[in-house]
Amino acid sequence: MLVLLVASAAVATAARRDFVGSTTCATCHPAIAASWRATPHARSTASLGPRPAARCLACHGTGDAPAGRAYFAEVGCEACHGAGAHYAADDLMRDRPLALALGLVDLTVPATRAAVCARCHNPAATTRLRPLDLSRPVHPSSAPAPGS
């Protein structure tokens, strides 16, 4: 239990060095990355113009948002799964309990998924969002992650 508390505290104070970017994730998860590229999350900044405001990137970017900076102008892997520097190495990802203990956010748990999605998908954030349907898969055509 203590490890999980430490890991969640690390996520809350993540810095740029804690994020590896969706390109890194795609090297081991190409099918999931291809599926993600076809989603609105991958194109989340397309309508924001060349210099989006920081308040927009809180939901349209990936980083320490909504509390801090966005480091990537996309809703990438780490926007939902947590900053990956501590768990992204292939040998760590193959050990699911260890990856989870090191900060990987398990979105297969409905309550966790609802909480993660609700950070941006809530009526207070915007009125232009599609209704959130947690029963739909996020990566509809993706294969299971290695080690899952």
Instruction: Evaluate whether residue 131 is within a structural domain.
Output: no
Instruction: Evaluate whether residue 124 is within a structural domain.
Output: no
Report how far residue 39's alpha carbon sits from residue 90's, in angstroms, rounded to the nearest whole number: 25
Q: Which domain holds residue 78?
A: 2-118
Which pTM was predicted? 0.79
Q: Which residue has the tokens 């809703």?
A: 75
Report helix, strand or coil for 71: strand
The CA dihedral of 63, 45, 33, 24, to the nearest 10 degrees, is -40
Q: What is the pLDDT of residues 69-111, one digit of tens each?
A: 889 889 999 999 999 999 999 999 999 999 999 999 999 888 8
pLDDT band of residue 137 (cuts 50, 70, 90) is confident
Report how far residue 56's alpha carbon sits from residue 41's, in angstroms, rounded to the nearest whole number: 13
Report how far residue 115's alpha carbon sits from residue 94's, in angstroms, rounded to the nearest whole number: 25
Domains contained in the chain, number: 1
pLDDT at 8: 41
